[in-house]
Structure 1
Amino acid sequence: MATLNFKHLRYFWMVAKTGSIARAAEQLHLTPQSISGQLTEFSATLDVELFRRAGRNLELTEAGRRILSYAEEIFTIGDELLEVLRDQKVKKTLPFRVGIADNVSKLIAYRLVEPALKLGEQVRLVCREGRLASLLAELSIHRLDMIIADRQMPANLNVRGYSHLLGESGLSVFGTSGLAKELSGSFPALLDNAPFLLPGEDVAIRPKLIEWLETSNLRPRIVGEFDDSALMKAFGQAGAGLFVAPTAIVDHVCEQYKVSVIGRIDAVVEHLYAITTERRLTHPAIVAISKAAREDIFGVGKD
């Protein structure tokens, strides 16, 4: 079984950060030949290719990128240890690694995660964004503590995890004041033939929204489809079309994107889940997020 050589790991880390052996050698005050030899030995010990040539620079292989993510964490913790030793008053931070599915509203994601930053102990937040499948792969190897998603964990994936409902919200339709003036009639009839920005195929509410439009005999003019909710709102802010967002964040959407509420669709409900490897939530940050979601953001349990 291979033994990890931390000197080799640091050399690899420095080359990965700087993009070349020459620049890493300057930082480490070593010769390029020495760094190159150590990398070759490290690669042979692990039995994986770490880099490939990209012109004059080096780029990481898939294995190299995975090793780099661990190296970043190892040396960050090492630097933190040295800081603690230099100053005994420095508190140890609680690492909290959150994956956010790319179709989740960034405003809701921020409001959900915010309570974790207000705990009594110091939290070091690491946020990753991506497709749910790739985030679940990271969760399965404990590279993430929690995923925020708009759907439960798919049953067909061989990943040990549990879905915890954070809350649910109906939808509101938003638009600029200029676009609103061009619309005639009352809501929801005004949606017929109105320019509309539709959530992308990966967004859980899309089928429900389309079904509601069809049932209501409404045919808006689809001018764009967006997997990324923030990008969709940016186009909406520019007046490209009407768009939907959870009613739970109406005030934040109106303030940040300078739009107004055109109407509400209570029949279409968006659900938000925390996906974790814990059946019962124990991580202090996740417990704080769950509590704030129920009591403040989505209003569950309010009088």
Structure 2
Amino acid sequence: MIKKSISVSLLAVATSSLLVLGACGTTDSSSSDKKTDDTKTTQTTKETTTKTDEKALLDWSYSGSTGPSDWGSIKPAYKISDTGKKQSPINIETKDAKVDKAKVTLGYKYQPTMFKVTRKDKTVQAVAQAAKGRADSKVTIANKDYTLKEINIHTPSEHQLDGKDYAAELQLKHVSADNKTAIISVFVKQGDKNQAIGDMTSVIAKSENGSTTAMKQAVSTLGLIPEDSTVFTYDGSLTTPATTEGVTWYVYEKPITMSKEQLSDLTKQLSDNNRPVQKLNDRQVTSN
């Protein structure tokens, strides 16, 4: 069993929204017709620009000629997507996992945490915000502290268990003082509403491409961690370009739940933003 501890803090964060209004009229005069045509042209240009901007925010995507199978050829920095031997995500065959409890011991020092959510195309990065007078959320692994930096969300899940995927996957990225990365991954299935996530799902649903929005509610980060669950660990990589290796993954077997509405909020912006599973090669998956 993994022990968890939590403290409570309050923080209010204001958000802003963007409202765009457009209008046009008609008249019988030729000059007015020209103005109307110009207005329509301007509006069309703006719409085209917006759509183009949305597609151009990232130089990679989850489909087409810039999809996962072509990431390695987009530019040299992404080449490891093709050549790497420790790429993520993977399909975890639970029967093949080697039991080693000492290697999978996680000590949580999590706090309720505020996040700012940035969306770019079909990716979302929820960045943890420091709060005055309150410690950052951390997890201790092998006597080393890792600080929670961000949460990334994929729908459906990227990792699989015995060939099965889930409705969504939360990936909690942590970094140590010596710049080592550990990602704690939690599957999500449809069920009861998830109170721990705060207003993150609704913020994502309303997010504009390229925008950053501060959440109004804190995430009860400890509440995102499943109780009494088997945890699988392996050496892998980031799952988005440049898919850098040197990442230690901790994948929980037991999923948490979100309501149908919460999952719908996520898929409005993030549908099918999952990289396909990668070859395990000679890596060993360990469990507790």
Which has more strand, going by share of residues?
2
Normalising by the smaller structure, the TM-score range is under 0.3
Which has more helix, going by share of residues?
1
TM-score by length of 2: 0.25
TM-score by length of 1: 0.24
Structure of larger gyration radius: 1
